[in-house]
Amino acid sequence: MFSLTSSFCYYLYRNPTDMRLGMDGLCGLVRGQLRRSPGSGEVFLFINKPRNKVKLLRWEEGGFILYYKRLEQGTFELPTFSVTATACVLGWAELVMIIEGISIQKIQRRKRFSKFSSC
């Protein structure tokens, strides 16, 4: 089934990504740069330098799924990264806000339990 939900852990790769990369190239970034397993079931996000294209890579039983969105106008807002981090762990709400164009810098989140707090 093609779906993304709040039950997944989302990793946003810090560096701009060449959108010509396919599944194999993105899997190489996950292994080499993020030091994660592409087949883990986690979702990996990659955004290009102009921030108008995003690819999401996820392993689903039987193979990889690649979601791709290109904005016709505007850009994706990125969260603030730690200076040394190669990725940022996102929650479902942050992912939806990024994709829908809602400013994540001005949102104040109230404390909630998250099973992905150790991601």
Report the pLDDT value the prediction gives residue 2, as an integer from 0 to 100.
64
Mean per-residue pLDDT pooled into runs of 10, the chain (119 residues): 82 95 96 95 96 96 93 91 86 89 75 59
CB 3 within 8 A of CB 92: no
Q: What is the CA radius of gyration of the chain?
A: 14
Report the pLDDT value the prediction gives residue 116, as an integer from 0 to 100.
57
Report the pLDDT value the prediction gives residue 111, as an integer from 0 to 100.
75
Spell 74-111 as b/e; 16+ CB within 10 A means b. Answer: eebeeeeeeeeeebbbbbbebbebbbeeeebeeeeeee
CA atoms within 13 A on the CB side of 38: 19
Report the pLDDT value the prediction gives residue 118, as an integer from 0 to 100.
39
Report the pLDDT value the prediction gives residue 9, as an integer from 0 to 100.
92
